[in-house]
Structure 1
């Protein structure tokens, strides 16, 4: 006699949105363990990771934590001798000293003059950009 085996019904649990959100908020706290929170709540860690991913994707990007970019005043000065623009600056002592609080750089036929306080990161960014100009 053959017994008829019934197919299991869809036994997925449905969780309230408030329950999901409270767990997700707990996972966003510094030092929180998603796996531990899921185990305490009796849900699969992968499910909680999915809820967390969906929550983070729905949030607008948070740009308040990053410092805004610093824009520096730049003046482009035409070369005095147009033919000399392609000639590299000879090595040796600089022709003149820039006043305090100003940095002048002659590179690739262009002169960059930076006034005021210049942080290292901004200067590095400017120099990398100028070095990449053909």
Structure 2
């Protein structure tokens, strides 16, 4: 009886009991590139190949460092530049000197209550520090 198989499953190379696996770079590259496809989760790719998701994340970093050859054009990364931009607040309107007010500011878990008549610079500095 002749059995033809027209589909070859792409699975991880066989492991020896008690030894750490040594996956070839071509297999690592294929797994990493699959993990970069839109809508794919790393843990799902790891489970499909019977490996730990942390290993896939480590391979992704190695892939970015060029350990498995040049980065594929299908896995395009956009350059990102993080800059610290100052917060420019408009000048505060002058408060009447005779008024007594209370201001309550809540940002995340921080709460700040200001009573009395703080100066415009005090309010501006306080807001800048809270909104950092």
Bin the TM-score by the shorter chain. 0.3 to 0.5
TM-score norm. by structure 2 comes to: 0.36
Of Structure 1 and Structure 2, the greater helix share is in 1
Q: TM-score, normalised by structure 1?
A: 0.36
Greater Rg by CA: 1
